[in-house]
Amino acid sequence: MTIHIGAAPGDIAETVLLPGDPYRAKWAAETFLTDVRLVNETRGMLGFTGTWNGNPVTIQGSGMGMPSLSIYVNELIREFGAKTLIRIGSAGAMQEHVKLRDVVIAMTSSTMSTPSRGFFKEMSFAPSANYELLQAAHAAAVEKSVPVHVGGIYSSDVFYDERDDLTDQLMRHGVLAVEMEAAELYTLAARFGCRALTILTVSDHLITKEDLPSDQRERSFGDMVEMALTAAFA
């Protein structure tokens, strides 16, 4: 048990999926895992452990934004021994060819600031995914004929952004999508020698202004969860 995760020793699997929304964690666990049990509900941030094809898996909500994710990932790795951490979530598309419901696999993540910024001082660290996980996730998408894009994303620390100039430059430099957690996840995984990946479903589009209605979002996220589980145990 830690300050933010009320699980008992042995309750957390070495493979952890990290949706931001605790209710998405509940949906994913009940939909894709067997022998599911609730292992954390501290502060309402639900976590569940079960099995997928006989493999132990924990699905733990991580909250919104890098500061929140940083707390949960630090504790999962340092106190519970997590080794493979895959963020599953939504993103806003930043390129015309990336469409609603497409899946984006984040090879790298640019950011203006993370909770780890102070570690590097003047250094600009380049957070990147684990290649084995990335390759396996991409192969799973191709096998399932899921529209998928692999490349750089942007981890923002602001939800209601007013930096049109920054958005324009990110689009100019080929950034595929924006979300709020991946850069810190990749940095922590590098620090502690773990594997990490971020798989995102496009829920809205910064160029076309399209977005998925809330009742369609969960149904569109199933492919992403299956890709994450397949990649984790490839």
The catalytic residues are 204
User: What three-state secondary structure class fits 173?
Assistant: coil
Q: Are strands 177-179 and 84-93 parallel, antiparallel or unpaired?
A: antiparallel
Q: Which strand (E) or helix (H) includes residue 104?
A: strand 103-111
Length of the chain, in residues: 234
> By C-alpha distance, which of 229, 217, 234, 202 is closest to 86?
229
- Residue ranges in the chain assigned as alpha helix (H): 22-32, 66-78, 117-120, 131-143, 164-172, 182-192, 214-220, 222-232
